[in-house]
Amino acid sequence: MAPKSRKKKAHAKTLTCYCNVCPEESVDNEKCETRPGGSCFASVRGIYNSTTNEYDVEYEYGCMPPEQSGGLLQCRGSLYLAGQNIKCCDSGEFCNQNMELEFQAPSTTPSPSDTQQIDQFSYNQLALLLSLGVCAILFLIIVLVVLVTYRRRETKRKQVCLLESGHSSHLSPLNDLFEQSSGSGSGLPLLVQRTIAKQIQLEKSVGRGRYGEVWLAKWREEPVAVKVFFTTEEASWFRETEIYQTVLMRHENILGFIAADISGTGSYTRMFLITDYHENGSLHDYLQMHVISPRSLQELAHSLTAGLAHLHMEIFSKPGKPAISHRDIKSRNILVKRNGQCAIADFGLAVKYNSELDEIHIAPNTRVGTRRYMAPEVLDESLNPTQFESFKLADIYSVGLVFWEMARRCVTTIPGTKSTACEDYALPYHDMVPSDPSFEDMYDVVCTQKIRPPIPERWQDEEILQVLSKIMVECWHPKPTARLTALRIKKSLSKIQTDGSGHIV
C-alpha cells in the first residue's frame, strides 16, 4: 500500500477551474487553480425569501481543496447538503463551467396523500367536538327546563295543599303565598285564586257603590276585602281583574290584589274581586273623620303620586309592564293604609298602552268616570282618544282635586296664637254644583266659567300647603300639556323634609 500511495502523490496535479467566487490569490476573476489533488466544483442553492415566500437561486463555481483538507468529502456526501446541490470534477481544465445543475426547494409540507389524511383527521376531530358540545348544551337546557317546571309545579302544589289543608297551624299567610309565586308580579296562579275564593267567609258590608258592594271577609282568619260586582257590571269585573293581573302591577301604593273568581248558574252570576283590607277605609271617609298634620298630608300626597307614577310608567323588560291610565281618580277610589299612605283602587275604567305596538286598549265599558272629577277636555269632548298621554293628563287633573280635599283637612297654627285651624271636609266644587252634578253642571263651571276650587289664605302659612297649592294650580290647568307629570309631582313632594314632631322644616 505504501508504494501505491507514494505513486499517487507523485502524479498529483493542479487544475484550472472556472470561478465566480474566486479566492483572493486568484490572478483572473473568472478562474482559479486548485492545489495538487484538488478538484473543480459547481453548486446551486436556494435562499428563502420571506417577502415573496419563494426561494432565490444562487449558482457558485470554484476550486475545491484536496481530499486531505476535507474538500472531496462534500462531493462524496449527500446530493443535497443544507439545501445546496454540489457537483465536483477533475477531468480537465474548466470541467465545471458547463455542468448541469438543478435546484429542488426543500419541503417541510407532507405529501398530498398525507395532507388529505391529516385534513380528514382534523375534520373528524372538529365534528366530534362540535357534536359533543351541542349535545352538552342541549342536555343542560333540558335539565334546566325540567328543574324550573318541577319547581313551579311543586310551588303550586304546596300552595294548593296549604289552602286545602285543614290544619290552620300549617297555613302560610298571604304574603308567603305571594313570595312563593312565580315572581312576575302578576298575582297568584289561577288555581290558587279560585281555591282562596271558595274559602272566603263574608262577614259584613263596609261599602256600596254603583259597581256593587264591598265586604269585610276572612280567609283563614286573615281579614280581606271582597268586592261583589252587580251582574250588570261584568265588563268592569273583567277589566279590573285584567289590570290587577298585569305583569309588574304590584306596588305598595296600589291596592294589593289577591284573587278573582266568577261563579253561578245560567240565571245568576256572582263575580268576586278579593284584595287587601284597609281598616281606615277610603280617603273620602278618612278625611271626614280625621284632621291631619302637615307630615301626614305630605305622606298621603306623596304616596298617592308614587302609586300613580308607577301606574303611568311603562317598564321595558322581559316581561314588561304597559303604561296604565286610571281614568277615575277620586277620593272614594283611594284607600288609606295603616301606615298613613295611600293605595289606589278601582281599575274598572283603566286604559293600557303598549308603545311597541302603539296600541291603546280601552275596555268596552259604559261607565265614563265621575263627572265631578272630570278634566275639562273630557267634559267638552276634546280629549284625543288616540293619544295615550291625553288619558294620563286627565288623571293629573283629578289628582289636583284630591290634593285640594286633603289640604282642607290639614291643621295649621294661626300666626301669633296657639290656636289651630282647618276647613271642614268638602268635595271639589261642593258649593257650585249639586251633590250629583250632570255633565252640563260641570261643563258650565269648569269649561265655561273656568272656575277652580278656592285656595284659603292660611295655606300660605305652612310649607307643604304652599307647595301643594302651586302643584294643584298646575294640575288643573285648562291646557292639558301645561300640567305636571305624576313623576314630577312625586319628586317635588319628596324634597320636603319634616322634623320629628311632624312639622315641615
Q: Catalytic amino acids?
A: 328
Q: Of 61, 55, 54, which is closest to residue 86 (Cα–Cα)?
A: 61
Nine-digit cell string for 119:
385534513
> What is the DSSP code (8-state) at residue 327?
S
DSSP 133-196: HHHHHHHHHHHHHHHHHHHHHHHHHHHHHHHH-S-GGGPPPHHHHHHHS-SSSS-S-HHHHHHH
- 221: alpha, beta or left, given left = phi > 0 and alpha = psi -120 to 50? left
- Give the 3-state secondary structure of 267-296: CCEEEEEEEECCCCCEHHHHHHHCCECHHH
H/E run at residue 88: strand 84-89
CB-CB contact of 408 with 424 (8 Å): yes
Beta bridge partners of 223: 218
Does residue 112 have a cis peptide bond before it, meaning omega lies within 30 degrees of 0? no
Nine-digit cell string for 181:
309565586
Nine-digit cell string for 162:
296549604
